[in-house]
Amino acid sequence: MSLPSRLVELVSALRGHGVAVGSSETVDAAAVAGVLGLADRERLRAGLAAALLRGEGQRPVFDAVFDVCFPLGVGSPELARDQDWDLDRLRDELVAALADDDGDAVGRLAGIAVEAFGRYGGGFSAYEALERVRPQTLVARVLAESGGGGGGFTDRLERDEVRRRVESFREAVRTEARRRTAEARGRQRVLEHAVAPSADRVDFLVANRKQLAELRRAVQPLARKLATRLAARRRRANRGHIDIRRTLRRSLSTGGVPIHLAHRRRSPARPEIVLVCDLSGSVAGFANFTMLLVQALRDQFSKIRVFGFIDTVDEITHLVHTGAANPDSLGARVHSEATLSTWDGHSDYGRAFRHFAAHHADAIGPRTSVLILGDARTNGADPELAVLRDLLAPARHAHWLNPERTALWSTGDSEADRYATVVPMHECRNTRQLTTLVGKLLPT
Amino acid sequence: MTESGFFASVDDVVDRLAARGYLASAAVATTVFLADRLGRPLLVEGPAGVGKTELARAVSAATGSRLVRLQCYEGVDEARALYEWNHAKQLLRITAGRDEGWEAARADIFTEEFLLARPLLTAITGDEPTVLLVDEVDKADVEVEGLLLEVLGDFQVTVPELGTIVAKRKPFTVLTSNATRDLSDALRRRCLFLHIDFPDAELEQRIVRTKVPGVDEALAASLVRVVGALRAMELRKAPSVAETVDWARTLLALGADTLDDDLVRQSLGVIVKHQDDVTRVRDRLNLSEAGR
């Protein structure tokens, strides 16, 4: 297969995974390949990434696609061809390689593991291979093997480091399984189905633990981004009253002619945010994630109040504040310290809104922006549209973020479309959508 | 117009940057080589303190070219980035030539004599090889990006009164960003993208030993391991390479040759800058418990 068609395959696979690559970038990629040649694979990888990618978040997708389109080799690994590998021998060698932190050996062993234990149907399965080899059970042996280093300070780091090496072995197995399957079944299928989506496109509701950790990392810059955007909007003052003193001061540099006008800076409006979150089990992943965003935001906004509900509303602002050091346990603490549910732990939006209107209505004033987070699944109870409408009437802005796909709204017990008549409802399934929303929600 | 043509190969980049004290990873060296060879600007992103700005300085030192730096900040505008007419001097000129007609005066005051070149214009005029560093481009307003497009896309500047000034020699351009906001796609498309992450342990050890020659190998290895562990902890501010180097200097000043609990506890402030993080690190590394 020629280089241009391989590059085109790479590019179209990237597009399929939501990385916007234009044709001019494809031409750049070809120029890169022309300059670097194909001799050094890692250099080619770095070069193509430089030409094709526009952000670090796209890197994992790129790496996976690159490994399939420009495979490390062909067929089964050399060591696996002429020898028989049993599980014990593989595990022994893996322990030695992990103890020495020998990356090359770990990579080779991943190849052998897939070849010897990863056959599944007509292709290869990383899951199958990892289930047989079970590298996570080797940590203790690796620690014993590397001998603890003689009681130095850094010994206590050993366990975490070994865990990271084990994780890199698992990743190598996944890459190898994709490569072998691509050979057996054709690249196209693997490119379409076996590459994990980038972190900003993972649904909040179905994110697994590792993805959630990645989302968590995405939150911090998002909050900072929001803050800088906000600051920029506040400070732009190129209309309005003229500031005589500063204009005259400036005119000195132009011989007393006031060429550059200075405008009086507007006093910044302080946004106040009230957040109302559904914390029931069905949206737990989403709500926990949003709490993280709130926590990151609390430095930027002078006033932010957070309310949680399942069928009863309780203010949880103080919990979010004191939890600054440790966001992990926030969800658990909220559930143990706040009264969110008086019945059976099923969300009841209507009841929660009534309760809010009765006890916390003063939280919403003319300067407040209200964000409601939830899937609008009321478990068949009365949605109380009128109560919500009155509640939100004084607010400056109100928005509802729904972690479900628009197509699922108003299916089953969801009242999303009816609520959408009272308050603008937005689909907000992943970080990407949240980012766009954050831009739109800013008070201008 | 000639390409910058500084480097012969990727290995050449590694060697010459290393000679200037910048140890480049394979990805960094490859991308620098490509930017040089393809004549494209280089957009560098990454956490604070991994040597984004330093890269531009090292390239300029390694190739013996002048460094022109544009530091972006909120509110930076055309007059600070590109060029400005020297109004005061123009006024003087008009006052001095009282008797001449308007036509003559106008023809005279809009010439290069009255043009104050700012970094972007400086970088593309002149014959000597140039490295243009646009630092923290994400701090600038969106409008400035539009300004950069012409300069970075075609390496030319249009001054309405003078016409278009085209670069005689393409500068080697580095833009750095801390990703506080998304740069526009138009700008990104004109650049090669490079994300510099924290270096791997082996490279970081070499960096520490280059920057702090007095540190012995075992100490460098163990402090790099500790920093690596801190980075894996999801702190509010992960320690950067600059902080690793600072820490090595501190330990050297304290006369330490191995790490122990007391030493780490005392000098933790050098690498961890938030109180929350300090608490967290003490907790995870069992520092308080070991102090019994």
- Cβ distance B87 to A255 less than 8 Å, yes or no, reads yes
Identify the residue among A19, A38, A45, A54 best suited for mutation to test binding to B, counting B beta carbons within 10 A and taking the highest.
A54
Q: Which phi and psi angles does A335 have, rounded to 5°?
A: -70, -30
pLDDT at position B33:
93
Which residue from A50, A231, A325 is facing B34, i.e. has the nearest CB? A50
* H-run or E-run covering B150: helix B142-154
Polymer length of chain B: 292
pLDDT at position B4:
55
Strands B42-45 and B172-177: parallel
Q: Residue A310 carries which DSSP code?
A: S
- Cβ distance A153 to B260 less than 8 Å, yes or no, reads yes
Question: pLDDT-derived band of residue B291, with 50, 70 and 90 as boundaries?
Answer: very low
Residue A302 inside a domain? The answer is yes
pLDDT at position A401:
83
Chain position carrying tokens 């990454």: B46
Distances from the Cα of A130 to the Cα of A5, A169, A357, A399, angstroms? 34, 10, 53, 45
Of B262, B193, B249, give the one whose Cα is nearest residue B220: B249
Residues B62 and B101 in one domain: no
- Phi-psi bin for A427: left (phi > 0), alpha (psi -120 to 50), beta? beta
Q: Which residues of A touch B276 (CB under 8 A)?
A: 324-325
- Asked if A204 contacts A228 with a C-beta cutoff of 8 angstroms, the reply is no
Whether residue A346 has pLDDT greater than 70: yes
- Cβ distance A54 to B188 less than 8 Å, yes or no, reads yes
Rounded Cα–Cα distance for residues B273 and B262 (Å)? 18
Residues A262 and A349 in one domain: no
pLDDT tens readout for residues A163-220: 888 888 888 888 888 888 888 777 777 777 767 766 667 776 666 666 666 666 666 6
* Strongest mean pLDDT among B96-100, B134-138, B151-155, B252-256: B134-138
Rounded Cα–Cα distance for residues B134 and B119 (Å)? 9
Q: Residue A326 half-sphere exposure, CB side, CA atoms within 13 Å?
A: 13
Question: pLDDT-derived band of residue B66, with 50, 70 and 90 as boundaries?
Answer: very high
Of B104 and B133, the structure prediction assigns the larger pLDDT to B133
Distances from the Cα of A191 to the Cα of A18, A195, A199, A215, angstroms? 13, 6, 17, 23
Residue B155 inside a domain? The answer is yes
- Cβ distance A42 to B26 less than 8 Å, yes or no, reads yes
Q: Which residues of A touch B280 (CB under 8 A)?
A: 325-326
Residues B173 and B231 in one domain: no
- Cβ distance A255 to B91 less than 8 Å, yes or no, reads yes
Rounded Cα–Cα distance for residues A342 and A344 (Å)? 7
Residue of B nearest to A161 (CA): B229
| Average per-residue pLDDT for chain A | 78
Residue B241 inside a domain? The answer is yes
- Asked if A282 contacts A402 with a C-beta cutoff of 8 angstroms, the reply is no
- Cβ distance A55 to B193 less than 8 Å, yes or no, reads yes
Distances from the Cα of A263 to the Cα of A56, A106, A237, A238, A243, angstroms? 39, 64, 6, 6, 5
Domain limits for position A122: 78-196
Whether residue A314 has pLDDT greater than 70: yes
pLDDT at position B192:
92
pLDDT at position B15:
92
Whether residue B279 has pLDDT greater than 80: yes
Range scoring the smallest mean pLDDT among A101-105, B86-90, B246-250: A101-105
Residues A434 and A286 in one domain: yes
Residues B125 and B189 in one domain: yes
Domain count, chain A: 4
Residues A303 and A429 in one domain: yes
Domain limits for position B95: 83-117
The CA-to-CA distance between both ends of chain A, in Å, stands at 53
Q: Give B75→chain A minimum CA distance, Å.
A: 9
- Cβ distance B185 to A161 less than 8 Å, yes or no, reads no
Of B84, B157, B87, B147, give the one whose Cα is nearest residue B116: B84
Whether residue A338 has pLDDT greater than 60: yes
pLDDT at position A223:
64
Of B74, B42, B70, B224, give the one whose Cα is nearest residue B138: B74
Residues A93 and A224 in one domain: no
Which residue from B185, B229, B259 is facing A54, i.e. has the nearest CB? B185
Range scoring the smallest mean pLDDT among A241-250, A272-281, A318-327, B131-140: A318-327
Strands A397-402 and A368-373: parallel
Residues A94 and A54 in one domain: no
Rounded Cα–Cα distance for residues A419 and A3 (Å)? 54
Domain count, chain B: 3
Question: Which two tokens mark A253?
Answer: 């540099």
Q: Which residues of A touch B279 (CB under 8 A)?
A: 325
Rounded Cα–Cα distance for residues A228 and B237 (Å)? 18
Residues A187 and A228 in one domain: no
Rounded Cα–Cα distance for residues A308 and A292 (Å)? 14
Last residue of a domain, one of B195, B229, B260: B195
* Strongest mean pLDDT among A316-320, A325-329, B97-101, B241-245: B241-245
Residues B224 and B87 in one domain: no
Residues A82 and A63 in one domain: no
Q: Residue B2 carries which DSSP code?
A: B
- Cβ distance B225 to A43 less than 8 Å, yes or no, reads no
Residue of B nearest to A53 (CA): B193
Residue B164 inside a domain? The answer is yes
Positive or negative torsion for Cα A418, A423, A426, A430: negative
Residue of A nearest to B178 (CA): A221
- Cβ distance B141 to A232 less than 8 Å, yes or no, reads yes
Which residue from A50, A154, A231 is facing B194, i.e. has the nearest CB? A50
Q: Give B271→chain A minimum CA distance, Å.
A: 16
pLDDT at position A136:
82
Of A372, A335, B26, give the one whose Cα is nearest residue B17: B26
Which residue from A152, A228, A231 is facing B258, i.e. has the nearest CB? A152
pLDDT at position B12:
92
Q: Which phi and psi angles does A88 have, rounded to 5°?
A: -65, -40
Identify the residue among A153, A216, A229 best suited for mutation to test binding to B, counting B beta carbons within 10 A and taking the highest.
A153
Positive or negative torsion for Cα B3, B5, B10, B14: negative
Q: Give B286→chain A minimum CA distance, Å.
A: 9
Residues B63 and B151 in one domain: yes
- Cβ distance A224 to B180 less than 8 Å, yes or no, reads yes
Residues A352 and A309 in one domain: yes
Chain position carrying tokens 């023809």: B107
**Residue B91 CB: number of other CB atoms within 10 A?**
15
Q: Give A325→chain B minimum CA distance, Å.
A: 5
Crossing angle (nearest 10°) for helices B10-19 and B52-63: 90
DSSP string over A337-387 = HS---SSSS---HHHHHHHHHHHSGGG--TTEEEEEES--B-TTS---HHH
- Asked if A325 contacts B233 with a C-beta cutoff of 8 angstroms, the reply is no
- Asked if A220 contacts A293 with a C-beta cutoff of 8 angstroms, the reply is no
Residue B100 inside a domain? The answer is yes
DSSP string over A420-444 = HTTS-EEE--SHHHHHHHHHHHS--
Query: Reduced to 3 states, what is the DSSP secondary structure of residue A229?
Result: helix
- Cβ distance A160 to B232 less than 8 Å, yes or no, reads yes
Question: pLDDT-derived band of residue A444, with 50, 70 and 90 as boundaries?
Answer: very low
- Cβ distance B10 to A36 less than 8 Å, yes or no, reads yes
**Interface pTM, i.e. ipTM:** 0.86
Residues B124 and B99 in one domain: no
Residue A205 inside a domain? The answer is no
Q: Which residues of A touch B222 (CB under 8 A)?
A: 152-154
Rounded Cα–Cα distance for residues A185 and B128 (Å)? 56
Last residue of a domain, one of B195, B222, B243: B195
Q: Give A24→chain B minimum CA distance, Å.
A: 8
